[in-house]
A and B are shown apart, each in its own frame.
Chain A
Amino acid sequence: GDSVTQMEGPVTLSEEAFLTINCTYTATGYPSLFWYVQYPGEGLQLLLKATKADDKGSNKGFEATYRKETTSFHLEKGSVQVSDSAVYFCALSGRSGGGADGLTFGKGTHLIIQP
């Protein structure tokens, strides 16, 4: 079945450092790919998404490119801030449109940004 693997945390960086959180997936067909973020004390929020190969999703300075050849969707940000400290979840949906009934999540990566 479908699965998502993302790097273990916690990941600790200094403010203004470059961020990469790796995510690879296994799925049949052509899934849609997502990054969700969970800030302390809050629910998961959709950060960005890509629905087909070579698409780049971007939001709040974060980017991720759908790489079909490497089955990856790595999350990057050029200069992180303390406010980016959160848990980041990579997810895929094998269903058209990415409805939430078809989401498969990774285990989450806890990101800690130090001033």
Chain B
Amino acid sequence: NAGVMQNPRHLVRRRGQEARLRCSPMKGHSHVYWYRQLPEEGLKFMVYLQKENIIDESGMPKERFSAEFPKEGPSILRIQQVVRGDSAAYFCASSPGEFTEAFFGQGTRLTVV
């Protein structure tokens, strides 16, 4: 059973471009969580999704950021018109249920130049 897969591992974007980060949860997991780690900071919760539903997006910036978890395929975190301050490591986690242990991916390191 493969772990949580995130790709790409590293992503470089110029200011104003779009960044798309992908997360494939573990097999059988229907709950996905996105976290962001800014330099010198701890991981911060962004959004919690179940298949085709956003459950909690209280940690996600209101503008330029969006997330989806379609019926088929990976979860996508999309950042439009990236700025230097978006440079961070973005971690995805998945779990089989709402109050169960979550398993994290290796993260995507986004660099905005």
Contacts and interface: CB of A to CB of B under 8 A. Distances in A.
Contacts of A43: 3-4, 6, 91, 103-107
B83 interface: no
A interface, size bucket? 20 to 34
Nearest to A43: B104
Interface stretch (A61-69, A71-79, A104-112): A104-112
Nearest to A96: B99
A101 B106 contact: no
Contacts, number: 65
B42 A89 contact: yes
B22 to A, nearest CB: 14
A102 B3 CA distance: 21
A57 to B, nearest CB: 13
A2 B79 CA distance: 26
A96 B97 CA distance: 13
B56 A101 contact: yes
Interface in A6-29: none
B55 to A, nearest CB: 7
A43 B44 CA distance: 15
B40 interface: yes
27 contacts: A43-B3, A43-B4, A43-B6, A43-B103, A43-B104, A43-B107, A44-B93, A44-B104, A45-B103, A46-B101, A46-B103, A89-B42, A91-B43, A95-B99, A97-B98, A98-B101, A99-B102, A100-B31, A100-B102, A101-B48, A103-B43, A104-B42, A104-B45, A105-B42, A107-B40, A107-B42, A108-B42
Interface of A: 4, 36, 38, 41-46, 89, 91, 95-108
Given A43-B104, A43-B105, 19 more contacts: A42-B106, A43-B3, A43-B4, A43-B6, A43-B91, A45-B104, A46-B103, A89-B42, A95-B99, A97-B99, A100-B31, A100-B95, A100-B101, A101-B48, A103-B43, A103-B45, A105-B43, A105-B44, A107-B40
